[in-house]
């Protein structure tokens, strides 16, 4: 396995180049072959994504450059929906340097990965909205933020137990006891690094978009393999699942105005001025009308998981903070997700009401202890943007995985073929897999990551 690395220092700096126009298409493209990484330093991506010198793929002897662990990747750009592809992806090897305390700011970065580095792998999907700019920036930036955050704590990550003081200058003899009582483990440092990296990347995107006069936001779903564990960090409505022979396990939760209703209503309760008198914080089964005035209707407020009735007042007739159902649910009538990166400039149409205070950039991180699983050859993680999950359930995806992989063991590209097949299944073909008429009109990106034998591949420090 050849070495890959992140070469440039964080940050790339400078304004974001304007996105290039999409390649001319003779006809709407139902799906595309997965975009393998070509040449040094490029990540999987689309024509309108700028070059990504920070991500280098592992080399696949069979077919030029391939994705880490020979993972599969496929994407679809739906020509009718948007001018540019709003899905972006990135993957590569993570090489984490061990820095001397206090000296990291002064050192030149090496361009190779000596053995003493901690190495891991990184896969990321970004689903943009309001244009592709934020997704492109995230695909260019997030791994650099993550590497930097991991390097800041790597000394603690490789210790048996993270030390209270990073430099090892323990002051209080019982420091290790305090750390143990809090149950702090090496994996908590990786979780913390992922959380901080998302926040940092969000700030970068905000600055870059403002400097270049562009707008937009994106969801982010990241999988990182490190020290025998797979970390899945999610902010938005993409999804990752583990598929094994007898098990389908969700590795992420979706963050939408519906799933985060109470947090969003709570903020509006604490800061009513965020709604500028234009919206009602309360949830009703439907938008109220003048005829409802004075009647007792179902409602719930920020502190309620259950429902109650209230007498309708005039202020209840305002547009609801969260409105609509399922895929149609919108925050402030504008946005379908409640976490993600970017959107710093996003306002409700024709008002000064900003969306950002209600959006979180912090992901939820789940940890899969891969070393503890008795892995089979067909055990995979499927990561995909929401377009796939709108049409296929976890169980349907698992059925496809289980029906495809065993018969294609000799095919070196079988995980890419599987990713394509999954996308194919969302295009309304009558294959008995999806309910009749279930077709996705969204951009879709899929990673299929084989877990088998990753323990040997993701060698430690």
Helix axes 414-424, 394-404, angle to 10 degrees: 140
The nearest distance, CB 221 to its own copies, in angstroms, is 17
The nearest distance, CB 20 to its own copies, in angstroms, is 35
Report the residue from 57, 130, 132, 192 that binds its own copies according to the rule CB under 8 A: 192
DSSP labels for 217-236? EEEEEEEEEETTEEEEEEES
In this structure, the strands spanning 319-320 and 279-280 are: parallel
For 177, counting Cβ atoms within 10 Å of its Cβ (0-12 exposed, 13-18 middle, 19+ buried), the class is: exposed
Report the residue from 78, 93, 144, 199 that binds its own copies according to the rule CB under 8 A: 199
The nearest distance, CB 415 to its own copies, in angstroms, is 30
Vertex 93, ends 126 and 149: CA angle to 5°? Answer: 70
Nearest to 454 by CA among 379, 398, 367, 365: 379
| Site stretch for its own copies (CB under 8 A), options 73-81, 123-131, 150-158, 205-213 | 150-158
Nearest to 145 by CA among 38, 224, 242, 30: 224
**Residue 159 in the binding site for its own copies (CB under 8 A):** no
Size of the site for its own copies (CB under 8 A): 57
**Residue 149 in the binding site for its own copies (CB under 8 A):** yes
Report the residue from 40, 308, 315, 408 that binds its own copies according to the rule CB under 8 A: 308
Which residues ranging from 88 to 107 are in contact with its own copies (CB under 8 A)?
A: 101
Report the residue from 11, 53, 99, 188 that binds its own copies according to the rule CB under 8 A: 188
**Residue 164 in the binding site for its own copies (CB under 8 A):** yes
**Residue 269 in the binding site for its own copies (CB under 8 A):** no
Report the residue from 11, 79, 166, 373 that binds its own copies according to the rule CB under 8 A: 166
309 has which bridge partners?
Answer: 298
Which residues ranging from 17 to 76 are in contact with its own copies (CB under 8 A)?
A: none
| Site stretch for its own copies (CB under 8 A), options 191-199, 378-386, 426-434, 440-448 | 191-199
Which residues ranging from 347 to 406 are in contact with its own copies (CB under 8 A)?
A: 360, 362, 364-365
DSSP 24: P
234 half-sphere exposure, CB direction, 13 A CA radius: 21
Structure-token pair, residue 73: 């990747």
Q: Using CB under 8 A as the criterion, what x/- string covers residues 212-251 for binding its own copies? A: ----------------------------------------
For 22, counting Cβ atoms within 10 Å of its Cβ (0-12 exposed, 13-18 middle, 19+ buried), the class is: middle
**Residue 347 phi, psi dihedral angles, 5° rounding:** -125, 155
Q: Among residues 174 and 351, whose Cβ is nearest to its own copies? A: 174
Nearest to 340 by CA among 148, 205, 146, 192: 205
Q: Using CB under 8 A as the criterion, what x/- string covers residues 399-428 for binding its own copies? A: ------------------------------
DSSP 352: -
The nearest distance, CB 274 to its own copies, in angstroms, is 12
**Residue 160 in the binding site for its own copies (CB under 8 A):** no
The nearest distance, CB 287 to its own copies, in angstroms, is 9
**Residue 399 phi, psi dihedral angles, 5° rounding:** -65, -40
| Site stretch for its own copies (CB under 8 A), options 51-59, 282-290, 401-409, 447-455 | 282-290
Do 363 and 251 form a contact (C-beta atoms < 8 A)?
no
DSSP labels for 355-382? SGGG-B-PPEEEEE-GGGS---TT-EEE
Cis peptide before 207 (omega within 30 of 0): no
- Between CA 446 and CA 124 the distance in angstroms is 10
233 has which bridge partners?
Answer: 222, 365
What kind and span of H or E run contains 30? none
**Residue 325 in the binding site for its own copies (CB under 8 A):** yes
Which residues ranging from 168 to 187 are in contact with its own copies (CB under 8 A)?
A: 169, 171-172, 174-175, 178-179, 181-182, 184, 187
| Site stretch for its own copies (CB under 8 A), options 66-74, 162-170, 274-282, 341-349 | 162-170
**Residue 372 phi, psi dihedral angles, 5° rounding:** -90, -10
The nearest distance, CB 192 to its own copies, in angstroms, is 3
Report the residue from 46, 85, 196, 425 that binds its own copies according to the rule CB under 8 A: 196
Report the residue from 189, 218, 241, 282 that binds its own copies according to the rule CB under 8 A: 189
In the complex, the residues that contact its own copies under the rule CB under 8 A are 101, 149, 152-153, 156, 162-167, 169, 171-172, 174-175, 178-179, 181-182, 184, 187-196, 199, 270-271, 285-286, 289, 291-292, 295-298, 300, 303-309, 325-326, 360, 362, 364-365
């Amino acid at each position: 396995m050849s070495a890959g690395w992140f070469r440039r220092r964080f940050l790339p700096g400078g304004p974001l180049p304007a996105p290039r126009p999409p390649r001319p298409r003779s006809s709407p493209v139902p799906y595309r072959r997965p975009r393998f990484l070509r040449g040094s330093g490029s990540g999987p991506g689309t024509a309108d994504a700028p070059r990504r010198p920070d991500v280098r793929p592992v080399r696949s002897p069979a077919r030029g450059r391939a994705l880490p662990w020979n993972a599969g990747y496929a994407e679809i750009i739906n020509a009718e929906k948007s001018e540019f592809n709003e899905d972006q992806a990135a993957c590569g090897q993570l090489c984490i340097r061990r820095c001397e305390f206090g000296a990291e700011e002064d050192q030149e970065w090496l361009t190779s990965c000596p053995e003493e580095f901690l190495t891991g792998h990184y896969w990321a999907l970004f689903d943009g909205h309001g244009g592709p700019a934020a997704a492109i920036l995230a695909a260019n930036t997030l791994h650099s933020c993550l590497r930097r955050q991991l390097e800041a704590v790597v000394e603690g990550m490789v210790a048996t137990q993270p030390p209270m003081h990073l430099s090892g200058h323990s002051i209080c003899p019982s420091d290790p006891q305090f750390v143990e009582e809090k149950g702090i483990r090496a994996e908590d440092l990786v979780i913390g690094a992922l959380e901080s990296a998302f926040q940092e990347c969000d700030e970068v995107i905000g600055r870059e978009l403002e400097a270049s006069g562009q707008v937009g936001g994106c969801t982010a779903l990241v999988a990182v393999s490190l020290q025998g564990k797979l970390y899945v960090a999610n902010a938005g409505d993409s999804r990752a699942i583990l598929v094994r022979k007898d098990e389908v396990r969700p590795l992420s939760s979706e963050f939408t105005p519906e799933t985060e209703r109470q947090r969003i209503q709570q903020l509006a309760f604490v800061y009513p001025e965020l709604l500028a008198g234009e919206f009602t914080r309360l949830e009703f089964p439907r938008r109220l009308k003048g005829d409802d005035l004075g009647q007792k209707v179902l409602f719930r407020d920020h502190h309620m998981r259950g429902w109650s009735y209230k007498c309708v007042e005039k202020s209840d007739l305002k547009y609801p903070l969260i409105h609509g159902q399922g895929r149609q649910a919108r925050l402030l009538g504008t946005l379908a997700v409640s976490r993600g990166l970017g959107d710093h400039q996003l306002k409700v149409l024709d008002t000064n009401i900003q969306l950002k205070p209600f959006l979180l950039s912090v992901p939820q991180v789940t940890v899969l202890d891969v070393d503890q699983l008795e892995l089979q050859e067909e055990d995979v993680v499927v990561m995909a943007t929401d377009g796939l999950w709108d049409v296929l359930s976890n169980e349907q995806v698992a059925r496809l995985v289980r029906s495809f992989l065993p018969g294609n063991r000799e095919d070196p590209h079988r995980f890419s073929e599987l990713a394509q097949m999954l996308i194919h299944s969302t295009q309304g073909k009558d294959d008995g897999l999806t309910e009749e008429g279930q077709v996705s009109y969204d951009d879709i990106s899929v990673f299929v990551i084989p877990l088998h034998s990753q323990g040997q591949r993701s060698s430690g420090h």
